[in-house]
Amino acid sequence: MEDTEIDQAAALLARARLDAAALEHLPSEATPPDLNDAYAIQSRLHAILSEAGHGPFSGHKIGCTTKVMQDYMKIPSPCAGMIPAPLIFEGETRLPRSRFCNPGVECEIAVRLKADMPARPGGYDRASAAACIGAAMASIELVDQRWTDFRALPTPPLVADDFFNAGCVHGPETAVDPFALDRVRGRMRINGADLGEGVGADILGHPLDALAWLADLRAAQGAPLRADALVTLGSILQTEWIDAGDHIEIEMDGLGAAELTLS
């Protein structure tokens, strides 16, 4: 794509997000044909939103890291997005329904980095990724269906728009053995109804593998992960779509809980 087309796509996505308005699709000339162009649009989108006072983008999300989400999305591999700092909340949180198009929630393990993750010869593995984790926590990822029908779209436009991310609510940060994150079990309730549970090993076999994948991707793009960044590693349960009045709770064994009410 030409730079003007990347700028056009990013401007359209930014306007839709600021207006909480769903898009049917991007114009053909502004539709990224591949993931390289999608991530270029994503980067420009972050700059536009930051210039409009909706940044900086300091958090990271990874989508489609579990079979349940890959099956649900019909996307067989991980996709990355970023989270603006003003949309990262800690503890019990209340947010207005009006700020979203079609909101949803996901049940995730998140980690806080204690070290930068620059490009590494041979890439990251579990051991080198584990060495960069300072804490872990339970996290509700807020997602927003900002397309009238996302199933009618290929993957690149979804990635360009941060792969649905609309923020996160996390619980207290907890010191952990990163190698034990694959054994963490988590569950979600909405309005008191249990919606099932999953385990950390569902995330690409081990949550550390998801962090290693993201670190390699962002380093290759010239935007490596930085110390103190929060990274949500992927949902262990299928996305649940919510509406005003809903109360969401997630618990992660050994990592605490997070709560969100949509008003």
HEC-encoded secondary structure of 194-260: EEEEEEHHHCCCCHHHHHHHHHHHHHHCCCCECCCCEEEEEECCCCEECCCCCEEEEEECCCEEEEE
pLDDT at position 163: 97
Residue closest to 140 by CA, chosen among 254, 252, 54, 55: 252
pLDDT at position 142: 97
Which H/E stretch holds residue 81?
A: strand 79-84
DSSP string, 102-150: SEEEEEEEEEEESS-B---TT---HHHHHTTEEEEEEEEEEEE--BS-G
pLDDT confidence tier of residue 81, bands split at 50, 70 and 90: very high
Q: Rounded to whole angstroms, how far apart are CA atoms 235 and 112? A: 17
Q: Are 198 and 185 in contact (CB under 8 A)?
A: yes
pLDDT in tens, 194-241: 999 999 999 999 999 999 999 999 999 999 999 999 999 999 999 999
- Six token digits for residue 4: 């003007």
35's CB contacts (< 8 A; 6+ apart) are 155, 156, 159
Which phi-psi region, left, alpha or beta, contains residue 195 (left: φ > 0; alpha: ψ -120 to 50)?
alpha
pLDDT at position 45: 98
Residue with tokens 């079990």: 185
- Six token digits for residue 121: 């010869």
Q: Are 174 and 183 in contact (CB under 8 A)?
A: no
pLDDT in tens, 242-260: 999 999 999 999 999 999 9
pLDDT in tens, 29-71: 999 999 999 999 999 999 999 999 999 999 999 999 999 999 9
pLDDT at position 255: 97
Homologous superfamily of 3-262: Fumarylacetoacetase-like, C-terminal domain (3.90.850.10)
pLDDT at position 230: 98
